[in-house]
Amino acid sequence: MRASMIGSGGSDDRHHAGPNLGKPTGTGRPALPGSFNPLYADHALRFDEASAASLSLPAINDLWIRADCYYDDFDLTSSGDGYFWAVAVPNIDLTMMDYANGIISLDYANSSFTSPLQTGPPVSGIPDAQLFTLDVHIETGVAVNGDTDDFRVSFYVDLSLIGQILSKNNNLNGAPPVRFDFGGVDFLDGNQRFFLSNVLVSDQDTRGRRFRILRPTGAGALATVEGGYSELGDGDSATFAYARAVGDAVTSTLTPGASPPGTIGKIILASYARNAVEVPNPATVVNRLRIAGTDYDATGLSPASGSIEALSSEWALNPATGLPWTWADLATLEIGFMGDT
């Protein structure tokens, strides 16, 4: 069994893990698209007119997306149109935030396989030159009014609803959203730079909820696997720690940093593992927390095959105390895994 891992501590809560679109470490060059820029958000990716991104979504009809965002100047006018984001199912663009010459609105896109263009209410409330939280609620089909062709997209900035479009697409046929695009043709179209980070996709309300990814940063007390915390914490899917025998284990310390506001809803430990062909080869990953010299093991999980997959375990409370997690708890926490049958 081979595994690499990410330890996740969240301020407020964290539900189904969404991708963290950014770099785990480093400072990067802010002049380049995609550069890490700590002035705007942890692990922020920088986009401009020439750079866009697309986020794949799980196939569910009621989901939320949240992200930390920063615009240099969202209201900058230009001679052309631009798009901030779009929600899509196969061959259909449902909703996008469209701006032209300073006028911003939620639009129902007119493209192949769609009914005619519909424009939603004007959008305001996106701050310039300051960090803000974006939450998008996407509902399709039965999640709206029971009609398979209905959809509704709600757009929140810093917890306030700033726009919503409720409409119908006669070709939707109950399909869930599959993609969330940051960009499109003439993305931003001269509207300076856009920074995006800490993206969370969930089947529960994301408003007021945040998450933080904490990677292994130092050697823990357990190190009987081949490889160690450096392989687990580098974010490289090509490097692993190997459990050759039942009981082989590794743990790592964390560096949580300054405490954010809010409370911790849960801790999620994700081991990225595959079942390799080497023999002996334990087939089960046991995600492990180690606190004050005591191991607290989750239920064992088995990767299905030789393909890498995430095996996640959750702890809503600190198992050593039975109390809610505190940020101080993370400074003395070790995370890791053990190989088992």
**224 shares a domain with 182:** no
Domain annotation covers residue 30: no
Residue that finishes a domain, picked among 202, 224, 249: 202
Task: In whole angstroms, give the CA distance from residue 200 to residue 327.
Answer: 20
Task: For residue 312, list its beta bridge partners.
Answer: 270
Domain span at residue 135 reads 45-202
> Which of 201, 209, 154 is CA-nearest to residue 178?
201
At residue 184, the pLDDT reads 53
Amino acid in position 54: S
**294 shares a domain with 178:** no
Domain annotation covers residue 84: yes
**181 shares a domain with 50:** yes
CB 174 within 8 A of CB 148: yes
Domain annotation covers residue 20: no
Count of structural domains within the chain: 2
SS (H, E, C) 264-328: CCCEEEEEEEECCCCCCCCCEEEEEEEECCEEEECCCECCCCCCCEEEEEEECECCCCCCECCHH
**290 shares a domain with 169:** no
Q: What is the CATH number of the domain that holds 196?
A: 2.60.120.200
Q: Which residues of 140-170 are buried (b: 16+ CB within 10 A; e: fewer)?
A: bbebbeeebbbbbbbbbbeeeebbbbbbebe
**297 C-beta neighbours (distance < 10 Å), count:** 16
Q: Is 74 exposed, middle or buried (0-12, 13-18, 19+ CB in 10 A)?
A: buried
Residue that finishes a domain, picked among 143, 171, 202: 202
Q: Which two tokens stand for residue 117?
A: 């263009």
**278 shares a domain with 129:** no
pLDDT tens for residues 212-257?
778 888 999 999 998 888 887 766 767 788 888 899 999 999 988 8
Phi-psi region of 280 (alpha: psi -120 to 50; beta: other; left: phi over 0): beta
CB 48 within 8 A of CB 168: no
Q: Name the 3-class secondary structure at 329.
A: helix
Domain annotation covers residue 36: no
Give the least confident one: 149-163, 167-181, 229-243.
229-243
**129 shares a domain with 92:** yes
Amino acid in position 213: I
At residue 6, the pLDDT reads 43
Torsion sign, CA atoms 256, 260, 264, 266 = negative
Domain annotation covers residue 34: no
Amino acid in position 278: E
Per DSSP, helices labelled H in the chain are 229-233, 327-331
Global confidence as pTM: 0.67
Q: Name the 3-class secondary structure at 141.
A: helix
pLDDT tens for residues 74-107?
665 554 455 666 777 777 777 777 666 556 777 7
At residue 188, the pLDDT reads 54
Give the least confident one: 99-113, 168-182, 279-293, 325-339.
99-113
Residue 23 has pLDDT above 70, yes or no: no
At residue 30, the pLDDT reads 40
Q: What is the mean pLDDT of residues 323-329?
A: 93
Domain annotation covers residue 40: no
Domain annotation covers residue 31: no
Residue 11 banded pLDDT, cuts 50, 70, 90: very low
Task: In whole angstroms, give the CA distance from residue 205 to residue 21.
Answer: 20
